[in-house]
Amino acid sequence: MPKVYNWQISREMQYPYDGVRPKRQFGAVFNINRCINCQTCTMACKSTWTFNKGQEHMWWNNVETKPYGGYPQAWDVKTLSKLGPQRWENGTYVGKTIFEDAPQGAMVLGYLPPDDEWRHPNIFEETPTPYPQIDGGKTQGWSELPVHQTFFFYLQRICNHCTYPACLAACPRKAIYKRPEDGVVLIDQERCRGYRKCVEACPYKRPMYNPATRISEKCIACYPRIEQGLVTRCIAACVGKIRLQGWIKPREEAIPDSPIDYLVHLAKVALPLYPQLGLEPNVYYIPPRWGPREYLKQMFGPGVEAAIEKYTHPDHELLGLLQLFGVTQKIIERFRVTDTDAIAYDKNGHEIIRVPIEDPVIVRPPQHFNTT
């Protein structure tokens, strides 16, 4: 099996195909700290792509409440327990990926969630979780920082358009492909024969089986919008302005004024979801400040402490870039932060939008005190 380099785990790993990176790779950063769980993103996707027969159970975008929420139910816990305890050593993952731990006769370590696990996207999640063991029980209140004794947070999920997709690796028909122009991973609806190997293999459980067409479907990264320079529906619709879309390079080739590269590679404030699984997923998360660190490390890898520290005390440039989340429907290719403003540019270098880093305080004159 060929070896490919996965920068998220700082090592080479086994993958069934050669590591050819696309010309550009779709990437996004989701700021968990700001999500209000309104599910506007979820409905934006549903009303655009999955409103027809056979798609009733499909939520290509979903927001689940951790630690108990999961769509399909317990997707991450199930995969993690199949993989068993694994280790990171000084920023390098020394455990096994799902490709390296594939059972005999299969490409990937996975499981096929039965239909009842897809039915209730938000079941069992309204359960706050006490973590009295945190800080050795020293923390008394439940909402004190740095870590809440009783915690929950929202996890926003779409397909990660992985650099090393497990869905693609597992499809014996090669009906799944990664577009060279933007790294978007798609299931060819003409070639798919409903084997559900992708549903079984993707640890994030993003391919879903359509019982009416008897083949599988998945998030398409709203490619007709990307082709026009627009951000995806779920990103454009986000009420909490927690999402930013752009392009991501591997760490060694990071472009400093590309917003996603800056957040992921330079500021290192945004982290991949379950990098240890080995897919190099391309949606990155700013971890929630109040989450128990051990739990977050399992989810986002060893960069958690540094990312939270950086997010809690951002420098001027990071603060500026954070203002550009959710302010435009256009894909921001480059950004610049001045003393007062954050400026976004399109691929031709034209300014898309300019936002103040600090909103000016305007005091209402006395004669308008009562106007509503």
Q: Which does 51 bind (CB under 5 to 8 A by kind): another protein, ligand SF4, none?
A: another protein
Among 162, 299, 308, 321, binds ligand SF4 (CB under 6 A): 162
Q: 139: exposed, middle or buried (C-beta count within 10 Å: 0-12, 13-18, 19+)?
A: middle
Q: Which residues contact 97 (CB under 8 A, 6 or more apart)?
A: 6, 9, 13, 14, 276, 277, 278, 279
202 binds ligand SF4 (CB under 6 A): yes
* Residues 4-63 within binding reach of ligand SF4 (CB under 6 A): 35-41, 44-45, 48-49, 60-61, 63
112 binds ligand SF4 (CB under 6 A): no
| H or E element in which residue 334 lies | strand 334-337
Residue with tokens 């929950």: 152
**Contact window for ligand SF4 (CB under 6 A) among 126-134, 198-206, 297-305, 357-365:** 198-206
Alpha-carbon gap, residue 59 to 91, rounded angstroms: 33
Among 23, 52, 126, 350, binds another protein (CB under 8 A): 52
Given the complex with ligand SF4, which of 44 and 248 has the nearer CB atom?
Answer: 44
Alpha-carbon gap, residue 55 to 217, rounded angstroms: 9
Tokens of 25: 């790779």
192 binds another protein (CB under 8 A): yes
The dihedral formed by the CA atoms of 46, 48, 52 and 56, expressed in degrees to the nearest 10 = -10
Query: Which single residue brings its beta carbon nearest to ligand SF4?
Result: 240
44 binds another protein (CB under 8 A): no
Q: Name the percent of the chain in helix, strand, coil, to the closest 5.
A: 25, 20, 55
The dihedral formed by the CA atoms of 290, 293, 296 and 298, expressed in degrees to the nearest 10 = -170
120 binds another protein (CB under 8 A): no
Given the complex with another protein, which of 27 and 113 has the nearer CB atom?
Answer: 113
Residues engaged in binding ligand SF4 (CB under 6 A): 35-41, 44-45, 48-49, 60-61, 63, 156, 158-162, 165-167, 185, 202, 204, 206-207, 218-222, 232-234, 238-240, 242, 279
Which residues contribute to the site for another protein (CB under 8 A)? 51-54, 56, 104-107, 112-115, 118, 170, 172-174, 188-197, 199, 208-215, 217
